[in-house]
Structure 1
């Protein structure tokens, strides 16, 4: 059993056959569709959003086929849906105890800035190490021209203390990684310096004797841990803070939703926004659902009556389902949009 298989089982257990099996692939890939964004909130899967962006449909199909053959899952009631076999529920719990989902993983919150942070961090470590040794000729570990340009600008900022950059960066990194709950070696082994070449993910997994997918997720969790700590204590990590891509405080929103939100704040109705942006009303409704999911105080009173909110909430809890179709069958006069935003407001908190 590979860890990626465990993660797929975990997702299927959460979804309980209420979405197609490919909704899991979209979550792991980090697809920015309204449905996927709503699913990660409703089914409490925000942590693993975009944790396997390169997982192909063919490889995912192979995973599903393997799990099905090994009787871990069986076809659900809906087309292209699968559910965990009841007899395997306890076995999955044991697997998750043996290989727990890394505690600091937060894919939805940090997915836009994680890769950029790693690219800047790894290049900074290499450059600082070579500066300390007085070496000027070496092959940069990051070929991204934007990252290299950022590095040059950063060196200009440290023009009077370039030789001390290595020392300051080491001190910040050591403080940032001070925690009994993490395993810094997963990151340190990947770093390249003047006298050391960092390992590839495959080499690191082999060295630690763990499954590659487990290593990949653990490494990602470690980066998320660093991001959370650096952003929470900015003054303590001035150099590391420079490595985090500048973004709006609401970076968890997609760009199109941000544009719609600005118009909402200016007092425009959904119909007016649809006309101004030349987008279908269904797309604008997708944006509203995303806003409800990500902005705690975003009010839905303008879009659905209080009485209908109560009815939808009661039905969703009574039938223990987050399926729009099942809820609408119980409440025909509610629109799918109204049901969606009420479920979004509940945020997956139903039992």
Structure 2
């Protein structure tokens, strides 16, 4: 349906044909973590595990873009990738499930990352809750509007999710257009959304189904565009994230596409248990009070507060850490080559681990 308007040539790399992209990605994560987390911390990030530790890790190590990038990546697959990287002399073991990239291979890794760059539009943490519903709604909306344009009612829905199907049924009742015209206006909005940037729309368009065309699977598109399947997956997510961001910032220009995005009532995302703690904080409860009321360990409540600092804009960190200690901790982190809490604590015996974590979370990246 839309492919003829999007025929940009996919840019592929030929450097190191034997190095799969998933290996490059794991090496990139290991490099950023610098041996301070286990390899399974990477798995939690790529799977999108919503734990306080994982949420803190993606911010500390600048991996927010990769959150939930590979939700079906298994522990066994990660173990296999790490095993192969060890055999290929990329890694040295520094502890149980802790690895560093060998110094002699870092320049090579830099070249691989430049040849396989992550899109700046990839924003996993920011849009992970929107991405799958957006894609399901978009693909079904395109298919149905294409059939409506020719008054066809005989088709098999590309999305079997009943919630998505009911959403479209309700949405069609609210659209103030003749049903035969919806396809035309939806097409115009898609063109406008995708043609303004240096993207390869074929990554997305080739997966859409219309009345005269069956969309391809992700694996089929990757093969057709001569892309590594995992690199294709990230490129596909990047386009979805780009579209979501553009639509949210220009809703009036995309009256149809904007209906595909259901925003959270809150401007931030918290895990369920942390949200309960946040409610108590807003009511004026202290940490000690919340420990008693919720019957949880203090360390658990502190984990919740770190998550709040990472997600709630302008949360007052000075309610948690004195200004004097904030200055000391920030200076120490900036001068240290490690983001390890243990290393920072060894240099600041008069501050707590929680205060260090709070400053790291509240003031962001110190690299």
> Hey, what does 2:67 align to over in structure 1?
49
Q: Does 1:73 align with 2:91?
A: yes
What RMSD in Å do the two structures reach over aligned CA positions?
Answer: 1.5
Identify which of 188, 195, 208 aligns with 1:171. Answer: 188
C-alpha distance in 1, partners of 2:249/2:176? 28
Deviation at 1:63, TM superposition (A): 0.6
C-alpha distance in 1, partners of 2:358/2:133? 33
Contact kept? 1:108, 1:252, Cα under 8 Å: no
Runs of 4+ in 1 over 6 A off after TM superposition: none
Q: Does 1:30 align with 2:28?
A: no
Identify which of 109, 126, 137 aligns with 1:120. Answer: 137
Q: Does 1:83 align with 2:83?
A: no
1:19-51 deviations in whole A, cap 9, x for unaligned? Answer: 111111111111111111111111111111110
Q: Does 1:345 align with 2:357?
A: no
C-alpha distance in 2, partners of 1:197/1:38? 42
> Hey, what does 2:14 align to over in structure 1?
none
Number of residue pairs the alignment of both structures matches: 349
Q: TM-score, normalised by structure 2?
A: 0.91
Deviation at 1:159, TM superposition (A): 6.9
Deviation at 1:116, TM superposition (A): 0.4
C-alpha distance in 2, partners of 1:248/1:182? 31
Q: Does 1:303 align with 2:320?
A: yes
Identify which of 22, 32, 41 aligns with 1:14. Answer: 32
Identify which of 103, 110, 114 aligns with 1:93. Answer: 110
> Hey, what does 1:320 align to over in structure 2?
337
> Hey, what does 1:3 align to over in structure 2?
21
Deviation at 1:343, TM superposition (A): 1.4
Give the unaligned 5+ runs of structure 1.
Answer: none
Contact kept? 1:292, 1:298, Cα under 8 Å: yes
C-alpha distance in 2, partners of 1:179/1:85? 41
C-alpha distance in 2, partners of 1:187/1:56? 25
Identify which of 255, 262, 280 aligns with 2:272. Answer: 255
C-alpha distance in 1, partners of 2:194/2:283? 44
Identify which of 209, 221, 225 aligns with 2:242. Answer: 225
